[in-house]
Amino acid sequence: MRKYLLKRIFYLFLTLFIVATVTFFLMKLMPGTPLQNEAKLTASEKASILAQYGLDKPIWLQYLIYIGGIFKGSLGLSFQFSDQAVSYLIGSRMGPSMQLGGQAMVIGVVFGIILGAVGAIRKDTWADRLATILSILGIAVPSFVLAILLQYYLGLKMGWFPVAGWEGFAYTILPTLALAASPLAETARFIRTDMVDVLSSDYIELAKAKGLSKFGIVYHHALRNSLIPMVTLIGPLAAALMTGSMVVENIFSVPGIGEQFVKSILVNDYPTIMGVTIFYSALLCLLLLLTDIVYGIIDPRIRLSGNGD
Amino acid sequence: MENPENVIEVRNLQIDFHTYAGEVKAIRDVSFDLRKGETLAIVGESGSGKSVTTRSLMGLLAPNAVIKGGSIMFHGDDIIKKSEKEMQHIRGKDIAMIFQDPMTSLDPTMRIGMQIAEPLMKHKGLKKKEAISQALEMLKLVGITDPEARLNDYPYQFSGGMRQRIVIAIALVCYPEVLIADEPTTALDVTIQAQILDLMKDLQNRIDTSIIFITHDLGVVAGMADRVAVMYAGKIVEYGTVDEIFFNPQHPYTWGLLNSMPTLNTAGGSLRAIPGTPPDLLDPPVGDAFAARSDYAMKIDTEKEPPFFKVSDTHYAATWLLHPDAPKVTPPAEIVRRQKKFAEMQRPEPPIKNTTKE
Ligand SMILES: Nc1ncnc2c1ncn2[C@@H]1O[C@H](COP(=O)(O)OP(=O)(O)OP(=O)(O)O)[C@@H](O)[C@H]1O
Ligand SMILES: [Mg+2]
């Protein structure tokens, strides 16, 4: 187990290194410079600012400097936010993003499981069809469309929730709903397929033969067996939430990482783009690693080949 | 109940399955009794309706099944008329079942102690602790070594044979009156098979349960059953005591089955599977369903369904060959020889009543 963990952690860092490298060069391919919006500056002023940030150096040197910085634990300084450290920016904006992501994950997964289980148990009835349509909608409708619809109808027209901003729990409701739709749909679809399989398996037959009630069978046998593979969905769901948050945070003016990320792309704030990308990648890698560990613990069939490997 | 000796009386059972292709007439007028403490074997080729028949006793038919007629009497009540809720009180308590594949019949995510304890908690209202301690007794009974420690193990930690012992423990933990074993050893290798069969016989004596033993392997039946019912194409075509079916079979289908039964002597290659395939149950043939595959078919076999002819008080066969006007035929030489060899091997004095010459 320890050897396995060490190996995984090594790969985690390798992945992050590759991500940093690829992002760095991709970013250099983006059109424009950090100064494209500053029309007032003269050419020599621009040159001196570029020199100040090291942007006049050859790209390979910039790359080495950047990677060197990372090894020293620094993600650089942001261009747009008056030279604040990128790591500080990420830290200060993490709160709202984590809160939205967490709320959306919980709502999405809980209701997704319910929807998927109902679909599987009532397979081929109207309830199943309704659940299927809902989950197809949840996957097909992009989160920005849903966000705008929610904002317009529930926020503007009905006035039930604040339209935008970040001043308390009420402000989190609409963005949470917009974000939750996709994990909810994914979860429902996953659980339905999975549970239909589980319900037709021999051990469910045996559970019936024991005389257990329908509820007992689902609760004690089917649910647990369907939920275990769902652990593998955590990674993809988290990724979906991260991408979703960029759009949703912008639409609802939530001061989170996603909003900052989109802004920094628009103004070529290289260090921030790099920093957030690496941060997201690290988060995702950690989640995936955690997923594997949790999976190994809860599923007695697939326990990691503990002693050897 | 017609006979107080009977635990279950099945009468004129008829079961269809709705499918896109039409109505599959899977069970066509099946009647049989299960006596207290006996082992009744149901044998027949794949698709003959063995599983469907026994699943109907548990009220566990597929959703597309329709019971067209008949009755299944148990304790004076008709099981067919019972609600799902009422059936839940019978399943696992009065009638229990063992399935074919022990590798997949246990819940992989539940400790086996709990899996054995579950029926006790459901039917006897025991608390978890008491149920687990009874589960422990059951584990000992089915011969799991170091049972205390193994209560907390998961199924993947057991071999196939051990898992089938656990499945048997689950089935018997409430001391059911009836145990249905649907090919319980087919998935196991031969030495383990024998151990499981011994275990079942041993437990039957201790727990005093009646067993319906389903198999398409007649070789297993000889040592296991008291009586045998032979099924073909949704019907029982012959039934009698083990000796009667093995030493004095009457239906050409039973001959075919016995003929295709491997023994030490036939292992060399004289094994004969019955040629042809069973009829399509979407549109079952008129008359004797086996006629198309039988060397002994007569004209009437394709016109009129044979009734049961009495061979002895306990032995009946549905073949026109037993009609007084039917021509006398000699069963396949293999059968006659096999019967003699079998008799020499198994019993000191073979109770052959038949006078057929080779
Ligand atoms: N759900 C179903 N829908 C349609 N037909 C079915 C269904 N279940 C069983 N049948 C049909 O009923 C017939 C009897 O099947 P059954 O499973 O009882 O056979 P069996 O004697 O147990 O065979 P095996 O030895 O293969 O287990 C078969 O022709 C089968 O195709
Ligand atoms: Mg079967």
What is the residue extent of each domain of chain B? 6-225, 230-262+274-346
Fold of B6-225: Rossmann fold (3.40.50)
CA of B223 to the centre of ligand 2 (A): 21
pLDDT at B269 over 80: no
Contact residues on chain A for B156, CB-CB shorter than 8 A = 300-301
Give the separation between CA B150 and CA B170, rounded to whole angstroms.
15
The residue nearest atom 28 of ligand 1, judged by CA position, is: B47
| B108 part of contact set with chain A, CB < 8 Å | yes
Half-sphere exposure of A234 (CA within 13 A, CB side): 20
Give the separation between CA B224 and CA B200, rounded to whole angstroms.
9
Give the separation between CA A292 and CA A304, rounded to whole angstroms.
9
Mutation test of ligand 1: which of B14, B25, B52 has the most ligand atoms closer than 8 Å to its C-beta?
B52
Contact residues on chain B for A213, CB-CB shorter than 8 A = 88
**Count of other CB atoms within 10 angstroms of residue A168:** 8
CA of B207 to the centre of ligand 2 (A): 26
- Tracing tokens 């205390």 back to the chain, one arrives at B148
What does each C-alpha distance from B208 to A98, B78, B165, B201, B301 come to in angstroms? Answer: 63, 23, 18, 10, 42
Ligand nearest to the CA of B20: 1
- What token pair was written down for B10? 């099945």
Number of DSSP helices (H) and strands (E) in chain B, helices first: 11, 12
Domain count across chain A: 1
| Residue B13 per-residue DSSP state | E
Give the separation between CA A204 and CA A218, rounded to whole angstroms.
9
Task: Report, as an integer, the average pLDDT of A102-124.
Answer: 92
pLDDT at B109 over 80: yes
Scanning B260-351, the segments in alpha helix (DSSP H) are: 333-346
Mean pLDDT, chain B, integer: 88
**Count of other CB atoms within 10 angstroms of residue B6:** 18
- Tracing tokens 């790591």 back to the chain, one arrives at A87
Confidence band for B266, pLDDT divided at 50, 70 and 90 = very low
Using one digit for the tens of pLDDT, what is the confidence trace for A211-226? 999 999 999 999 888 8
Using one digit for the tens of pLDDT, what is the confidence trace for A55-70? 888 888 888 888 888 8
CA-based nearest residue to A225, from B221, B285, B120, B108: B108
CA-based nearest residue to B139, from B123, B125, B120, B124: B120
CA-based nearest residue to A251, from A140, A183, A155: A155
Chain A CA closest to residue B118? A210
Amino acid at residue number B86: E
Chain A CA closest to residue B121? A212
Contact residues on chain A for B57, CB-CB shorter than 8 A = none
Mean pLDDT, chain A, integer: 84
CB B235 within 8 A of CB B251: no
Q: What is the pLDDT of residue A304?
A: 43
Q: Which of A238-242, B19-23, B263-267 shows the lowest per-residue confidence on average (mean pLDDT)?
A: B263-267
Confidence band for B355, pLDDT divided at 50, 70 and 90 = low
Give the separation between CA A212 and CA B249, rounded to whole angstroms.
42
Half-sphere exposure of A2 (CA within 13 A, CB side): 0
Confidence band for B243, pLDDT divided at 50, 70 and 90 = confident
Q: A191 lies in a domain?
A: yes
Using one digit for the tens of pLDDT, what is the confidence trace for B147-160? 999 999 999 899 99
- The set of residues, in sequence order, having a beta carbon less than 8 Å from that of A131 and lying 6+ positions away, is A115, A116, A118, A119, A188, A192
pLDDT at B258 over 70: yes
Chain B CA closest to residue A220? B110
Q: What is the pLDDT of residue A308?
A: 32
CB A187 within 8 A of CB A113: yes
- Interaxial angle between packed helices B160-172 and B190-207, expressed in degrees from 0 to 180 and rounded to the nearest 10: 20
- The set of residues, in sequence order, having a beta carbon less than 8 Å from that of B293 and lying 6+ positions away, is B256, B274, B275, B276, B277
Q: What is the DSSP string of A113-151?
A: HHHHHHHHHTTTSHHHHHHHHHHHHHHHS-HHHHHHHHI
| CB-based burial, B261-279: b 16+ in 10 Å, e otherwise | beeeebeeeeeeebeeebb
| B79 backbone φψ class: left, alpha, beta (φ>0; ψ -120 to 50) | alpha
Q: A165 lies in a domain?
A: yes
Residue A271 DSSP SS3: helix
Of B96, B99, B156, the CB nearest to A300: B156
3-state secondary structure string across A183-209: HHHHHHHHHHHHHHHHHCCHHHHHHHH
Q: A228 lies in a domain?
A: yes
Q: A82 lies in a domain?
A: no
pLDDT at A296 over 80: no
Q: What proportion of chain B, given as a percentage, has pLDDT over 70? A: 91
**Count of other CB atoms within 10 angstroms of residue A219:** 13
Q: A22 lies in a domain?
A: no
* Polymer length of chain B: 358
Q: A215 lies in a domain?
A: yes
Pairing of strands B210-215, B39-43: parallel
Give the separation between CA B60 and CA B89, rounded to whole angstroms.
13
Residue B297 DSSP SS3: coil
Confidence band for B346, pLDDT divided at 50, 70 and 90 = low
CB B225 within 8 A of CB B349: no
Any residues with Cβ below 6 Å from ligand 1, and which? B 17, 19, 24, 26, 44, 46-52, 62, 64, 216, 281
Give the domain extent around A230: 94-267
User: What was the ipTM of the complex prediction?
Assistant: 0.85
Beta-bridge partners for B30: B13
Q: What is the DSSP string of B33-71?
A: EEETT-EEEEE-STTSSHHHHHHHHHT---TTEEEEEEE
CA of B121 to the centre of ligand 2 (A): 29
Of B88, B92, B154, the CB nearest to A300: B154
Amino acid at residue number B32: F
- Cβ-based burial of A301 (10 A; exposed 0-12, middle 13-18, buried ≥19): exposed
Q: What is the DSSP string of A66-97?
A: HHHHHHTT---B-TTTTT-BHHHHHHHHHHHH
Task: Report, as an integer, the average pLDDT of A173-179.
Answer: 88
pTM of the model: 0.81
* Residue of A203, A205, A224 to mutate, testing the B interface (most B Cβ within 10 Å of its Cβ): A203
- What token pair was written down for B223? 């040592």
- Helix (H) or strand (E) holding B100, with range, is none
Q: What is the pLDDT of residue B132?
A: 95
| Residue B233 per-residue DSSP state | T
CATH number of the domain to which A205 belongs: 1.10.3720.10
Contact residues on chain A for B89, CB-CB shorter than 8 A = 211
Q: What is the pLDDT of residue B268?
A: 45
